[in-house]
Structure 1
Amino acid sequence: MLESALFMRESTKMTIDPLSEVLNFANVRPIVSGGIDAGGEWALRFQPPDRLKFFAITRGECWLLIDDTTPLRLGEGDVFLITQTAFTLCSDPALEAADAHAAFAGVSNGHARLGDGSAFSLLGGHIVLDPEAAGFMGGIYPRFVHVPAGSPHASVSSWLLARLVEERRSGQPGTTLAMGQLSQLLFIEIMRAHLLSSTLPPPGLLRAVSDERLAPALSLVHADPSRQFDLNTLATAAAMSRTAFIDTFKAVSGTTPMAYVAQWRMHLAAKILRDEDTPIAEVAHSLGYGSESAFSNAFKRVVGEAPRLYRSRFQKAAADGEACGWQRKKPLPERGSLIA
């Protein structure tokens, strides 16, 4: 449970990275699911994806058209993330686009070939995360991020792309694991590039866990969620006055510091209740609550139901082989084409 993780951090003097903590909590996993090889004139229209998609140009050039925006020219080494927005990839913006579903129909390996496939190649995939983390992770991802090949992160991204292409081509033992690890690193590089761009993310979790001013305070919270925090302690860690800390935290995260602490604790608790059989009293103690009743009241305020009922519903769902639960959605498949 939490004690073992905390012991490992203390014994190895690990530095707590709030962004890594949040991504690990949500079990974020980028999955390379397909690609496109194209030649000649071509255009594909993709419907708004209901999850975060990532695409990397590995050869040639194409145009990206997003509704109500100027067409964007993409070249080899460019990477972009997109979600909840329809878009078109094409060789010429003037072409009428075909439905991407039709292009990928009957494709067994997730890789579509358009024309002679000689001029352009793209790899793509999607981000899988624990559906139960959706409530806490809501809004963490931007709707669109473009990382040009000429950006400061291009050298790392280009190397990762080259390795992904080689792994996919070679099919050597361990390819699936290697591609998973490489795509994870590529995703982190994309997120870093987005955070360092001139356009700040909107107030929310992503901006909060990457804000250098708040990092010392959030590191305290993530390193020891059982600790009894107060505003003075967190403000001192951030080297701010109490008032400045409250104002900064709310402007960056969209919530108050103590609300963030409570939400993080309860989402950790919810994960333990779903994944383990740890007695509720022990869960309460591991998160700094003096009694099971105090923990239960806090859990109900944040999650909307008592921890015992929350756990029993998940246990029943597991027994029935069904998906259910607070803000639950059926897990998305890890394999599929770019339009899945």
Structure 2
Amino acid sequence: MLARPRNLRESSGVTADPLSDALALVRARCVITGGFTASGDWSVRFRPSAALKLKGLVRGRCWLVADGRPPQRLAQGNVAVFNRLDSFVLCSDPALPPVEEPEAVRPGPGPLDRFGDQGDADDGAVVIGGHIDLDRSGDELLLAVLPRLTVLSEADGILRLLEQLLDERAATRPGANFAADQYAQLLLVQVLRAVLERGTASRPGWLTVLADPDLRPALSLMHTDPGRAWGLDELARASAMSRSRFATRFREVSGQPPVAYLTRWRIRLAERALRETDTTVAALAAELGYASESSFSHAFARTVGVSPGRFRRAVRGQAQAPTGA
């Protein structure tokens, strides 16, 4: 068996859990940025500055108008996730003309802003909002496969998380910010689990494979030991399928053959190691299962467009470049 250095496994947190692997690789982080209360007649248009934006309804009800769809009623415990939408509207009545968020907002007495004409009404909606930060590899791994609009219901186990997030945001207790960050991360995981359970990924990819219970064992093997020369027979056996059926099924669900998926995953791990560690290209090649540094460099360049060394110099240069001017 090929003896490989340990630093890639340690630095990238490679596990048998592909969802955790992907979230760690793209440095996915859910950030709650604020919230608002709204009551009476109100209609607000939001224009997200982040690619992945979310709104969670902690209390009350409201309407969502987005992505050219019919108005959708949101209730307590619903969370809407917007993937690269230019704008969306939250309102008390879809017939009302929306007001742009900066013009509609009024400061509240606490951490929440106010919308509407009766901010103290008991029947108002309480909404918290945030975004999901990703590094540059997140475009392919998350943005490209998530639906443009995902709405989670209270049945997805979200309400308690929303209540805890709101409580921590309003608290002055020690550690409140840290606690809110952890609840936000759990909220992100719940969102992705809901996409998996519903099979609503927008296109074939790793998320659709992960949603397939028959293919998931093979995916876990490749993530557990990405440097191993996995054969089609081994992967098919893990998924309890014949070799030909497994190959066909994997291609149909993921949009690519198993070997191509494994190659792309190896390159994503290599990108992170080149950004964050001083591991040599030769050591990376060995750890990722390539017979030589040259074969690894060719595979990397085919996927990324530049050699590993050039990629490292470029990303290190960006990290060291002065900001402002």
TM over 0.5: yes
Q: Give the 3 Å change call, closer, same or farther, for CA 22–222 of structure 1 in structure 2.
A: same
Going from structure 1 to structure 2, the CA distance change for 1:28 and 1:106 (only over 3 Å counts) comes to: same
Q: TM-score, normalised by structure 2?
A: 0.88
Equivalence for 2:114 = 113
Give structure 1 stretches of 5+ with no counterpart. Answer: 324-340
* Alpha-carbon distance in structure 2 between the residues aligned to 1:131 and 1:105: 35
Is the contact between residue 19 and residue 210 of structure 1 (CA under 8 Å) also seen in structure 2?
Answer: no
CA positional deviation for 1:39: 2.0
Deviation at 1:110, TM superposition (A): 7.7
Aligned to 1:143: 148
What are the residue-to-residue correspondences of 1:194-213 with 2, within 5 Å? Answer: 194-197=195-198, 199=200, 201-213=202-214
Q: How is 1:246-325 mapped onto 2 (pairs within 5 angstroms)?
A: 246-321=247-322
- How far off is 1:296 after superposition? 0.7
Normalised to the residue count of structure 1, the TM-score between the two structures is: 0.84
How much does 1:272 deviate?
0.5
The CA RMSD measured in Å over matched residues stands at: 2.7
Match of 1:3 among 2, 6, 30: 6
Separation of aligned partners in 2, 1:136 and 1:38: 35
Aligned to 2:135: 130
SS in structure 1 of the partner of residue 198 of structure 2:
coil
- For residues 150 and 130 of structure 2, what CA distance do their matches in structure 1 show? 15
How many angstroms apart in 1 are the aligned matches of 2:200 and 2:274?
Answer: 38
Q: Deviations over 1:44-82 (max 9, x none)?
A: 112365511111111211111124322111121111111
Deviation, structure 1 residue 197:
2.6
Q: Is the 8 A contact 2:57 2:76 kept in 1?
A: yes
Cα 1:84–1:315, aligned 2, differ >3 Å: closer, same or farther?
closer
CA spacing shift, 1:25–1:290, aligned 2, 3 Å: same
Q: Provide closer, same or farther for how the CA distance between residues 253 and 105 of structure 1 changes in structure 2, counting only shifts above 3 A.
A: farther
Structure 2 residue runs without a partner (length 5+): none
**Residue type at the aligned position of 2:276:** D
Question: Per the alignment, do residues 45 and 173 of structure 1 end up closer, same or farther by CA in structure 2, a change over 3 Å counting?
Answer: same
Name 1:173's counterpart in structure 2. Answer: 174
Question: What SS does the corresponding residue of 2:6 show, helix, strand or coil?
Answer: helix
Q: Give the fraction of aligned pairs with identical amino acids, expressed as a percent.
A: 38
The alignment covers a number of residue pairs equal to 315
Q: Which moved more, 1:300-309 or 1:190-199?
A: 190-199
CA distance in 2, matches of 1:189, 1:137: 14
Alpha-carbon contact 2:264-2:303 (below 8 Å) kept: yes
**Could you tell me which residue of structure 2 aligns to residue 61 of structure 1?**
61
> Residues 265 and 142 (structure 1 numbering): CA distance in 2 closer, same or farther, change over 3 Å?
same
- For 2:104, the equivalent position in structure 1 comes to 103
Divergent runs of 4+, >6 A: none
- Structure 2 CA distance for aligned equivalents of residues 249 and 123 of structure 1: 39
1:262 Cα deviation (Å)?
Answer: 0.4
Distance 1:41 1:297 in 2: 61
